[in-house]
Each structure stands twice: as C-alpha cells, then as structure tokens.
Amino acid sequence: MASTAYRTCPLCEATCGLELTIDEGHITRVRGDREHVLSKGFLCPKGAAIKQLVHDPDRLQRPLVRDRRTGDRREVSWDEAFAVVSDRMADVIGHHGRDALALYVGNPNAHTIAGGLYLVPLYRALRTRNRFSASTVDQMPKHVACALMFGHVLTIPIPDVGRTDFMLILGADPWESNGSLFTAPDLPGRLQALQARGGRFVVVDPRRSRTAAAADDHLQIRPGTDAYLLFAIVHTLFAQGLADTGAISSHVRGVDEVAGLATPFTPDAVSAVTGLDRDRIIELARALAAAERAVVYGRIGTCTVEFGTIASWLVDVINALTGNLDSPGGAMFPLAPHERRHTGTGRGFSMGRWTSRVRGLPEVAGELPVAALAEEIDTPGDDRIRALLTIAGNPARSTPNSHRLERALESLELIVSVDPYLNETTRHADVILPPADLARVPHYDFNFLGMGVRNIAVYSPPVLPPVPGTLDECEILARLTAVAAGRPAAASVEFHDELLSGALDQAVADPMSPVFGADAETLRTQVTGASPAERLIDTLLRSGAYGDGFDPDGCGLSLERLLSAPHGIDLGPLLPRIPEVLATPSGCVELCPPELAADVDRLRVGLFDRRAATVLIGRRQLRSNNSWLHNVPVLMKGKARCTLQVHPNDAGRLGLTDGGHAQVTSRVGTVIAPVEINDDLLPGVVSLPHGWGHDAEGMRLGVASAQPGVNSNVLTDELAIDPLSGNAVLNGIPVTVAPA
Ligand SMILES: Nc1nc2c(c(=O)[nH]1)N[C@H]1C(S)=C(S)[C@@H](COP(=O)(O)OP(=O)(O)OC[C@H]3O[C@@H](n4cnc5c(=O)[nH]c(N)nc54)[C@H](O)[C@@H]3O)O[C@H]1N2
Ligand SMILES: Nc1nc2c(c(=O)[nH]1)N[C@H]1C(S)=C(S)[C@@H](COP(=O)(O)OP(=O)(O)OC[C@H]3O[C@@H](n4cnc5c(=O)[nH]c(N)nc54)[C@H](O)[C@@H]3O)O[C@H]1N2
Ligand code: SF4
Ligand SMILES: [Mo]
C-alpha cells in the first residue's frame, strides 16, 4: 500500500516542502507540497530527482577501507572502520601534533542536522588550527562584512522580496540557483510577482543569465568590479543629498566616514573599470533612493572575486543609506525558531587569531582559506598537514587549482571521508564513512530557517526506515568526535548526553530564553524526541524565541508541535530587529568598520589597473548541484552542458567554432572544453560551469563518468584571494583561449 510522507528538500537553500509517495520501501513519486507554508507546491528538477538520488545504486552503504599497497578497497563493519580511524588518527597526532590533522567540511553540511548539531563539538574535539570549508570558496566575504557591521557572522540581512518595490541583484542567478543566503522557494516566481505589482528588478551580471533576461534592466559589468559600481552608487547618494538611514539612524555609526571613503569613486571614475555608463549608474542610485521600499542583494558574483568583502559590505551600506536596512520591503533579519533574541551588544568580531603556516593568511571565523590547503600539505616543514578529514565535501573539484590539491592529497598519510560517494576526493581516502541517505534521516534547517523570506518553523522526521547496517550521519560525527577526543567510538553514547546537558545549561543561563533561571535537570525530564538529535532540537525549540518554555500547556513551539505540522508553521513576516539583533561592542550598526576602510586603498589603486584581455567566469545550472548530482540519470538528460560559452566577437577573433573545442589556459592549468557561441556574455569574458570533470580513475560514479565534462577549477588560481576574508577568486580569472 502506498503512503504519503512530507519532507523538506535538502538540496538547496530554497528548502521546498516535498510530498513523497512511498511504496514498498521506495520513493515512487515526488511532488511539491502544495500546503507547505513557504514553498506552496513549488518544486524544481533536482527536488523531483530525489527519487533516483535516494535509490542510486552507486551510493555507498557501508564503510570502505583502502589498502595503501594494492589500492584495493574493501567493505568493513562500522566497528572495524572506526578502529582503523582511531588507530591511524592517534598515530598521526602522536607523531606530528594536533595541527597535522586538517579538516575540510563541504556544502551539504549546511543542509543536514548532523552539520547543524555535531560539527562544532567535533571542531572542539579535534583542536586543530587547520580547519577549512567550502565557505572560503563561497560566502565568507558576506560573513566577514556582516560580522564587522552587525557583530556576528550569521547576522545576515535578506531581501524582503514580497514587500519591496525595487530590487537590485548583483552576481546572482536565482533562475538557476534558486537563491542563496536567501531562502525563498520559487524566487523567480516572487520576482515576477514583484513586476506584476508594478515593481522592478535590475540585474548586474557580465552574462545575460536567465535572471538577467527576465529583469527590467541588465547592466553587463566587467567581472570583479562590482565594488566600484556599489561605491559609485554610495557616492551618488551622498553627492545628490539622497543618503538617509531612516528609522535606524540613532543606531548607525560611521555614515560620514563612508561618505569620505566614497569620494574618489565617482560614476565617471568607475565607468572605465566597470564598463558601465556613468548615467546608468546615477540612474540606478536615484532609483534605489526614490523607491519607497528597495533592496540590494549580492551573491556568488560579488563574493568570489578579489574585492568580495568590500562588495558584500557595500550592498548593506546602500541598504542602510537608502533607509531600507531593517525595514519592511528592504533588507531584514529573520528570526529562526531555534534562535533566541540577542541583547543588542556583544564582543564583536575578531579575525587573525592565528595564521596559516605557509602564506601567513589570517584565520577567519575559526578557519583558514581553503585556497591554502594544498600548500599547507605540499610545502615541506615539520608542522605541515599530514592527514585530512573531509565531511560532505569534494575539494578535488570545488576548490582552486585542483591538480595541485589532488597531488597533495595523494601524499597524505591518512584521509578519512564522511561521504556517500566514491568520487574525485574520496578516491584518495583511506576510510570512507557513508552516511544514511536523506530519506532515512530527519531534517531541520539550522541555517536556512534563519534566512527565510518569512519566519517559519518546520521539521521532517525520516520518511523511510533505516537500511540495516547503515549509520546516520549524526552518529558518525558523534563517534568521530569521541575518537578525536581520545575516547573509544562507543563513547558517543555519553557524548550525545553531554551535548543535551550543554544545551539545557545554556538555555537556563540565557536571560533571553523563556526558561532563564529554571532547573536544567527538571527540564531534562521533560525533553521529548526519538533520537539524540530530536531531543536537542526539542530543547532548542522550546527554549527559543517562539518556544513553549517547557510549559506543556503553553502555545509555543516544541518538537511535538512541529511533528503535528508536516507542512510547517508560519511565524509571520519579517519584523524589524535593530537594535536587539546587533552584537557589536557599540550596540550600533558599524557602517564603516576600520578593517574594511583599510581595504579601500586596494580598491582605489585598482581604479587605474589594466585588466586582462580575456577572463573566465563560472555559471550555475538548474540541474546541477556543485559537483555531486551528476550521477542522477534524470538530471543528465539532454545535450552536454559543460561548455565554454564565448561571445561571437571573441570566437571570431580567436578562431573558435560553435561545437568545436577550445583550449583554455590560466596561470595554473589547462583544460579543453567544447565551445558554445552565444551573445549572452560580455565580449572578453568566457564562462565554464564548475563541478564537472568526472573522468578520474578509481571512482564509483557510473552515470557521471559517462558524461564527465571538464573541471573549471583546474584553471582557478589558489594564489588569487580576497585578502580580508581569504575567499578564493573564482570569477574573473585571466585566461588565454585558443582552438584545440
Ligand atoms: N569555480 C568555481 N568553484 C566553485 C564554485 C563556483 O561558483 N565556481 N562554487 C563554490 C561553492 S558556492 C561551493 S558551496 C563549493 C562546494 O564545495 P564542496 O562542498 O566541497 O563540494 P560539493 O560539490 O558540494 O560536494 C559535496 C560532497 O558532499 C557529498 N554529500 C552529499 N550529501 C551528503 C550528505 O548528506 N552527507 C555527507 N557526509 N556527504 C554528502 C557529495 O557526495 C560530495 O562529495 O564549491 C565551490 N566551488
Ligand atoms: N541548480 C543549482 N542550484 C544551486 C547550486 C548549483 O550548483 N546548482 N549551488 C548552490 C550553491 S552552493 C550556491 S552558493 C548558490 C549560488 O547562488 P547564485 O549566486 O545565485 O549562483 P550563480 O548561478 O553562480 O550566480 C552567480 C552569477 O554571477 C555572475 N558573475 C560572475 N562574475 C561576476 C562578477 O564579477 N560580477 C557580477 N555582478 N556577476 C558575476 C555569473 O554570471 C552568475 O550569473 O546556488 C545554490 N544553488
Ligand atoms: S528549489 Fe532547491 S529546495 Fe526546492 S526542490 Fe529544487 S533543489 Fe529542492
Ligand atoms: Mo555555495
């Protein structure tokens, strides 16, 4: 008998509700959940493909251990796998110290309960300074900018698209990506609704993306130069007397300093470097100021560039200067159900508490730039990295200069990977620990419930029973934490308990919690949940901003309440949160943090830089997900998508033909890719999507290997970073292109 189950889609930040038909232990149909409070039935091709993803025959079910001499892999029991991990980790740490064991955590951690609850304790147990993540090939500039302005890395305002009149989008392509650092299922539909109610949106992108094509206006900017455009907008707001921080004025510091910094960046001065007409820049500034409610939003194209942190900062400077920060229809701060209100001040943010060994790059938010991972392994020295733990990451395809990184990986003494696939990265691993698939684990969005276009709460229990002999990722990470702390893997039992005690202790000690001052031991007896993770979530919900405070008669949130609401609970529109949301020492929005002001020198110098003739940018594709969904047959139908897009003028100049092949060479590598000629790109810019190149030896990716594509990160340069955040530059890479 078929049954219906509901679950949040974990594949992207839109977090759509899925309606799954289950028949004899299989997902037989996927539809958008029409009653879901936020997604209201929306579904994209990736969500629909979950059926094939969950039942992918290449997915690993049991741990694999590699024999270093023969290269053979064998399936082992979980006990044996953890015994190997424990022995070999102890060996590395015993011989070379704790920093010899590095950690890389990838993007799917942002979508799992395991990532939300168990990574921080694992970091603490590992005590390594060599922590890396996909954040430094992605959004680290936004974290740094927001931390300096608002006091905390996760205090990121998001566009209140449902109530705005004018939206400026830079370097984002939600028609393909479905949105990022901004949880709004069917964002294209929401932008069309904005147009339908008489509003407008404008896109800044070197490429006529699908989003740009749908926009009211498209500014085709030179890659890497958004910070100039944004500064010219700031300049114009001041020059024309349009700057007004509105309702938050008494909580903002540094307005005059920003005005001073903007002085050289006149629309005329930035016109050459951005390739944009001065009048259009002025027009844009005036439109932002004139709209009753407007919002600026920047994503990948503003982060993965050489001035990523400055651009990310200026996005919110403009939101503030146009009176749209923390204001309905502007950029607002969501309040997640597991979150508590803040006190309005805090210690602020500091970086550079340690530096990387080789390049001396500063630590940011507890991690080092992943662009420095290879050199930390392959540069001789007693304190180099000897072992790596990867969790839900594929750095061999996702991070710059892949060739160097893969060579470095092969030289390590130990690699342990928590990953369901034998892929480009895990083929180097000594031990692979595959987590149970998404249908067998519960779901709760620790990250994206705090980035939603409305405040909502939703929890999904597992939709299928566990496969015997498999392990949930929470348990895998708990056992790794025990091992990292020098305890036996079986100590995970006590460890789960310690986590719960920690969460209860924190709740009763926090004046902003509804259980402030209560007795933690009494509360513990009232916690509900079928697993350690559920008990933690129940604790966080009940002691959170909307919690029932452990009052069984209370009307607030609890796990039980969410279990009875499979389509989610709407907690209302975003509300103004300044000053409560701030965690800066001053208790104010720091519009002009000194760290950012200091970096503006670099931008000023760049005004007179000569740019490379041809530069490479990336692009996302609706039916891809970074490097890891190319093994799902339905997502691979149709013509090959991993093409080098080239403008007809460039194709003519370079002698390239549509369907022919081009050789693309950067400072660090060369690839040969099929050419697709179209006039979507700005001349002088070529585009290759990332996450391809599935032609390596020793993998188990039957479908992906048949249509491998080429790896664009063979071309990206590990030496090119945004210095403030350490984020890699992945867009605007100087290349030469020739017929192959
Ligand atoms: N050139 C270029 N490079 C880029 C980008 C770009 O725009 N251009 N984008 C960057 C961005 S934004 C990101 S986020 C990074 C992503 O970088 P990564 O996170 O390193 O790479 P992904 O391709 O997302 O790989 C995810 C890995 O997690 C595994 N996985 C999937 N689900 C689970 C799970 O539930 N548990 C576990 N343990 N593993 C799982 C997959 O098998 C895969 O190995 O790539 C970056 N790289
Ligand atoms: N289908 C699908 N969805 C995804 C992903 C995926 O791989 N596939 N990945 C997910 C992840 S991890 C993330 S982080 C998000 C990213 O979400 P988005 O940021 O919306 O994703 P992109 O499509 O990479 O959009 C970046 C845009 O920036 C443009 N661009 C490049 N350089 C510049 C520049 O210098 N300036 C400006 N203004 N624009 C520039 C590119 O042409 C591109 O259109 O998407 C998520 N969603
Ligand atoms: S938009 Fe994202 S969350 Fe929604 S179905 Fe597609 S992949 Fe899943
Ligand atoms: Mo990302």
Average pLDDT over residues 503-518: 97
* Ligand 2 closest atom vs CA 620: 23
Query: Does 554 have pLDDT greater than 90?
Result: no
Ligand nearest to the CA of 729: 1
Unique residue bearing structure tokens 């001040």: 345
At residue 82, the pLDDT reads 98
From 6, 9, 451, give the residue whose CB has the most ligand 3 atoms within 8 Å, as the site to mutate.
Answer: 9
Centre of ligand 4 from the C-alpha of residue 46, in Å: 16
The preferred substitution site among 190, 300, 394 for testing ligand 2, maximizing ligand atoms within 8 Å of CB, is 300
Q: Residue 553 — pLDDT band, cuts 50, 70, 90?
A: confident
pLDDT of 552 > 90? The answer is no
pLDDT tens digit sequence for 702-714? 999 999 999 999 9
Please work out whether the CB of residue 306 comes within 6 Å of at least one atom of ligand 2: no
The closest residue, in CA terms, to atom 6 on ligand 3 is: 44
pLDDT confidence tier of residue 598, bands split at 50, 70 and 90: very high
Pocket residue to mutate for ligand 1, from 64, 370, 394, most atoms within 8 A of Cβ: 394
Contacts of 57 (CB under 8 A, 6+ apart): 702
pLDDT averaged over every residue in the chain: 97
- Which of 46, 180, 438, 628 is the best mutation target for the ligand 3 pocket, counting ligand atoms within 8 Å of the beta carbon and taking the most? 46
Centroid of ligand 1 to alpha carbon of 549 (angstroms): 37
Smallest CA-to-CA distance from 591 within 346, 318, 365 is with: 318
Q: What is the pLDDT of residues 306-356, one digit of tens each?
A: 999 999 999 999 999 999 999 999 999 999 999 999 999 999 998 999 999
- What angle, rounded to 10 degrees, do the helices at 113-126 and 492-509 form? 100
Amino acid code (one letter) for 483: V
Ligand 1 atom with minimal separation from the 437 CA? 35
Kindly tell me if the per-residue pLDDT of 610 is higher than 80.
Answer: no
pLDDT value for 1: 85
What pLDDT, on a 0 to 100 scale, did the predictor assign at position 21?
A: 98
- Centroid of ligand 3 to alpha carbon of 108 (angstroms): 13
Of 425, 391, 452, give the one whose Cα is nearest residue 109.
391
**Calpha distance 402→397 (Å, rounded):** 6
CA–CA dist 609, 272 (Å, integer): 10
Ligand nearest the Cα of residue 60 is 1
Q: What integer pLDDT is reported at residue 478 of this predicted model? A: 98
The tokens describing 570, both together, are: 């709407």
CA-CA distance, 677 to 461, in Å (whole number)? Answer: 47
Confidence of residue 567 (pLDDT cuts 50, 70, 90): very high
The predicted structure's pLDDT at residue 609: 76
Query: Which atom of ligand 1 is least distant from the CA of 425?
Result: 44
SS3 541: helix
Cα–Cα distance between 84 and 445 in angstroms, integer? 32
> What does the alpha-carbon distance between residue 265 and residue 278 come to, in Å, rounded to a whole number?
11
CB-count exposure of residue 253 (10 Å: 0-12, 13-18, 19+): middle
Q: What is the pLDDT of residue 695?
A: 97
Q: Which residues line ligand 3 (CB under 6 A)?
A: 9, 11-12, 14-16, 43-44, 46-47, 178, 185
pLDDT mean over 219-242: 98
Ligand 3 centre to CA of 43 (Å) is 6
> What is d(CA 300, CA 134) in angstroms, rounded to the nearest whole number?
13
How many angstroms separate the CA atoms of 319 and 243, rounded? 10
Q: What is the position in ligand 3's atom list of the atom closest to the CA of 43?
A: 5
Q: Which ligand is nearest to the CA of 48?
A: 3
| Ligand closest to the CA atom of residue 105 | 1
Structure tokens at 360: 């001396």
Measured from the CB, is residue 645 less than 6 Å from ligand 2?
no
Q: From the CA of 301, how far away is ligand 2's center (Å)?
A: 6
Q: What is the 257 CA–ligand 2 centroid distance (Å)? A: 32
Closest ligand 1 atom to the C-alpha of 138? 12
Which ligand has its closest atom nearest to the C-alpha of 180?
A: 2
Question: Could you tell which of 20, 33, 40, 43 is best to mutate to test the pocket of ligand 3, judged by most ligand atoms within 8 Å of the CB?
Answer: 43
Ligand closest to Cα of 728 equals 1
CB-based contact 340:545 (threshold 8 Å): yes
- Sheet with 387-391: list strands edge to edge: 73-75, 64-66, 431-433, 414-418, 387-391, 101-105, 131-133
Query: Ligand 1: residues whose CB is within 6 Å?
Result: 106-108, 112, 134, 137-138, 300, 304, 391-395, 398, 418-421, 423, 435, 473, 618, 626-628, 690-691, 712-713, 716, 730
Q: Which of 176, 312, 611 to mutate to test the pocket of ligand 2 (most atoms within 8 A of CB)?
A: 176
Q: Are 399 and 372 in contact (CB under 8 A)?
A: no
* Residues 75-119: tens digit of each pLDDT: 999 999 999 999 999 999 999 999 999 999 999 999 999 999 999
Distance 100 CA to ligand 3 centre (A): 38
Kindly state the DSSP code that residue 417 receives in the 8-state scheme.
Answer: E
* CB 17, CB 458: distance < 8 Å: yes
pLDDT score of 611 more than 90: no
Q: Which ligand is nearest to the CA of 472?
A: 1
68: which 2 tokens?
């270093």
Give the span between the Cα atoms of 12 and 179, in whole angstroms: 8
**Ligand 3 atom closest to 50 (CA):** 8
Minimal CA–CA distance to 399: which of 377, 422, 431? 377
Query: In whole angstroms, how far apart are CA 105 and each of 117, 352, 358, 395, 523?
Result: 14, 20, 21, 9, 33
Two structure tokens written together for 144: 């740094």
Q: Determine the distance separating the centroid of ligand 1 and the alpha carbon of 339, expressed in angstroms.
A: 26
**Residue pair 210/173 in contact by the 8 Å Cβ criterion:** yes
pLDDT in tens, 114-146: 999 999 999 999 999 999 999 999 999 999 999
Q: Ligand nearest 620 Cα, by number?
A: 2
Q: Which helix (H) or strand (E) holds 131?
A: strand 131-133
Here the tokens at position 441 are: 């684990």
Q: How far apart are CA 727 and CA 720, in angstroms?
A: 9
Look at residue 612 in the predicted model and tell me its pLDDT.
Answer: 74
pTM: 0.98
Residue bearing tokens 């830079």: 170
Residue nearest to atom 46 of ligand 2 (CA): 177
* Residue 382, SS3 per DSSP: coil
- Phi, psi for residue 715 in degrees, rounded to 5: -95, -25
Q: Which atom of ligand 1 is nearest to the CA of 418?
A: 38
CA distances, 13 to each of 184, 273, 446, 453, 622 (Å) = 8, 33, 11, 12, 13
**Closest C-alpha to ligand 2, atom 6:** 625
> What ligand 3 atom has the least distance to the C-alpha of 14?
3
The enclosing H or E element of 526 equals helix 520-526
Nearest CA to ligand 2 atom 37: 171
- Encode pLDDT of 426-485 as tens digits: 999 999 999 999 999 999 999 999 999 999 999 999 999 999 999 999 999 999 999 999
